Amino acid sequence: MSARLPAILLRLAAVLALIYLIAPLLVVIPVSLTDQRMLSLPVNGLSLQHYRSVVHSSDWLSSAGQSLLIGLVATALAMTIGTLSAIGCWLLGQQRSALFRIVNLLPIVIPSIIFALGAYRFFVEVGLVDTLPGVILVHTVGAIPFVFVAISANLDYVDISLVRAARSLGAGLLRTAGLVILPNIKTGLVSAAIFAFLHSWDEVVVTLFVSSRAVHTLPRKMWEGLSENLDPAIACVAVALIAFTVVLLIIEQRASRARTP
């Protein structure tokens, strides 16, 4: 029993930490079902009135559409850039690609507020402030490290001798990547795409700096609602976002389990 005690205590600590992290999220669910006009717990009973107001609100639906569009485009761009960067660093080797790896990880190393200030100052010069391409660009840059890390981790399971064999048979670099490398990291591609999309979908700090009126993503609208009127519809949207994120994470987890060591 004494030998198993450390393991039991470790599991207990993990469960308590999980409860501590999840409990604040679970509070949002009853708040979204409140019968009050302000963010609060239900008083007289549960109500779906605020869910109905979100579904019939053109502002919320427009923000969701913008977030979806930005997320999909930013994910596609980040997947292209991040995957090619990861493959290039993998082919170069750990030592020769050290500087390139650092550059790819900079967006998550630098504090968000500093990155946002730099992006805003640059966008002022080139005229991209409060434009859809500008927001897509900053979301793409922010998502690249997630793609780079996920793909790099999966490339560790690929036998580089397969690449050398393909090159020795006359296959070019792009052909080798398409026919040899990418099929062997397809589960990593799924994980990378999900994390890149979730980063764009939830991004609010940088978006607040580089957009104002023309671009209203879902997190930005939630932020403005919290600072202005504390509408319970915000809790409804938060529940939908949590559910959507959980579904994507479950898909990513199943893709990770399908990886062959």
| φ, ψ (nearest 5 deg) of residue 130 | 60, 40
209-236 tens-digit pLDDT: 998 788 888 888 888 877 766 778 888 8
149-207 tens-digit pLDDT: 999 988 888 888 888 888 888 888 788 888 888 888 888 899 899 999 999 988 888 99
Residue 226 · residue 41 · CB < 8 Å: no
Banded pLDDT at 70 (limits 50, 70, 90)? very high
Who wins on pLDDT, 3 or 223? 223
Average pLDDT on 62-76 reads: 94
Alpha-helical (H) ranges within the chain are: 5-32, 49-55, 58-92, 98-109, 112-126, 132-155, 160-168, 173-176, 182-184, 186-202, 205-210, 218-228, 233-257
Q: How far apart are CA 83 and CA 149, in angstroms?
A: 9
Q: How far apart are CA 33 and CA 185, in angstroms?
A: 43
pLDDT of residue 18: 84
Banded pLDDT at 7 (limits 50, 70, 90)? confident
The pTM (predicted TM-score) of the whole model is: 0.84
What domains are there in the chain, each with its CATH number? 58-228 (1.10.3720.10)
- For residue 173, give Cα distances in angstroms to 8, 29, 152: 51, 51, 18
Banded pLDDT at 261 (limits 50, 70, 90)? very low
Banded pLDDT at 123 (limits 50, 70, 90)? very high
